[in-house]
Amino acid sequence: MDLMNLTILLNTFFGFLTFVAWISSAAILYLYFSKKTFGKLITDQFLNFAISVALFSSIGSIVYSEVVGFIPCRFCWYQRYLMYPIAIGLIVSIFKRPFFRIGYLSIFGVLTSAYHIFLQNGGGGGGSCAIDVPCDLKYVNIFGFISIPVMAGTGFLTIFVALLYYDFARKEVVE
């Protein structure tokens, strides 16, 4: 498979996962605001879901830079600086449950991604994050609005929402 086809495949795959994450986040928010809870087995799956989102986001960023060759700008790096420790922390939470709270750092990732999306779409004058990589460069542009910062922001938001519900629901579960 040549690099162009691989890029199209990855963009399609991660674009699809972005839509799935939006739908999942909306469903989880519904559960949270309607105060619906499940048994421990199902409640624990929300933590597992947050872990998988963090892992897919981390692996996706590495694949885009190391395999496809997209050079990350400064704000892409900031988002990575937040996502990688969240992914590691959530994996540790499998063994030490209270450690899942590190995932709440994802709210800072949402804010960083939102600002990056703003810059990428001409806000703040665009400009250059680094000498060779401008902040407004769109390596990925699915349906005219899904870019890498949109994918990252979606990942952070999905992690936050899943952990918010998990934290709420695990307190409500009678063991």
Cβ-contact 173, 100 below 8 angstroms = no
The full set of domain ranges for the chain reads: 3-172
Query: For the segment 42-91, what is each residue's pLDDT rounded down to a tens digit?
Result: 999 999 999 999 999 999 999 999 988 888 888 888 999 999 999 999 99
Beta partners for residue 134, in sequence order: 128
Bridge partners (DSSP) listed for residue 81: none
- 86-123 pLDDT, tens per residue? 999 999 998 987 878 888 889 999 999 999 889 888 77
Q: What is the pTM of this model?
A: 0.90
Asked whether the beta carbons of 165 and 49 are under 8 A apart, the reply is no
Of 158, 164, 115, 166, the closest CA to residue 17 belongs to: 158
Q: Which of 98, 102, 148, 94 is nearest to 121 (CA)?
A: 148
